[in-house]
Amino acid sequence: MSTWRRPTYFNPDASAAAASVADQADLVGQFHKQLPGYKPTSLVKLDDVARELGVGSVYLKDETSRFGLPSFKILGASWGSFRALAQRLNIPLDADFETMKKAAAAEPGSLTLYATTDGNHGRAVARMGASFNISSQIHVPSTMNQETIELVRLEGATVVISTGSYDKAVLEAQKASEHTNGILIQDFAFGDYDLIPQASLCNVA
């Protein structure tokens, strides 16, 4: 074994373990399969690592491309956005993508998705806004590099650059979203804001 690698731990109870399944996993999977470019995550077999560890096989889950974006974040952002729109528009969660898109278009006023990001989450929310033909406003910290800002803008979002930190940008996005047609799509919970973050974490392969 390489000197830099820690000893491998084998869980003696693993054979009896059962992973918990999210209540809405089937709905999430059904939704993701409707998105253009859907495909299961590819697995890269790491034979050398498996031999070194003394196990049958090791696979690396490759998340470098999801729906054309370089991160798994689109999985959570897409379902979180759909879940939030379903709640706002009183649409069942098993509705198809086109039904939601038409309902959003028929809503009086202009719906806007809001989010704070330091990169991939904002791009993903902006992509979903464009997919639903609704606007998006993405707040970023003052330290965000210009290249990343432009990538978010290329998804069709309005980018608001905070004068402060990421935490300040979060508060600004929250405040900006507090109007009749604003919907906050954040990937972490705070205060009593937890439904959409929970939905955003419900990802499937």
pLDDT in tens, 151-190: 999 999 999 999 999 999 999 999 999 988 999 999 877 7
Q: What is the pLDDT of residue 205?
A: 46
- Does the structure show a pLDDT above 60 at 22? no
Q: What is the pLDDT of residue 21?
A: 46
Beta bridge partners of 62: 42
- Does the structure show a pLDDT above 90 at 109? no
User: What is the rounded CA–CA span in Å between residue 143 and residue 133?
Assistant: 29
pLDDT band per the 50, 70, 90 thresholds, residue 14: low
pLDDT band per the 50, 70, 90 thresholds, residue 70: confident
Could you tell me which residue, 148 or 29, shows the higher pLDDT?
Answer: 148
Average pLDDT of the segment spanning 54-73 = 88
pTM over 0.75: yes
- Does the structure show a pLDDT above 60 at 200? yes
pLDDT band per the 50, 70, 90 thresholds, residue 195: confident
- Does the structure show a pLDDT above 50 at 136? yes
DSSP, collapsed to helix, strand or coil, labels residue 59 as strand
Q: Report how far apart, in Å, the C-alpha atoms of 123 and of each of 46, 119, 169 are.
A: 31, 7, 16
Mean pLDDT over each residue of the chain, to the nearest integer: 87
The CATH topology of domain 73-200 is Rossmann fold (3.40.50)
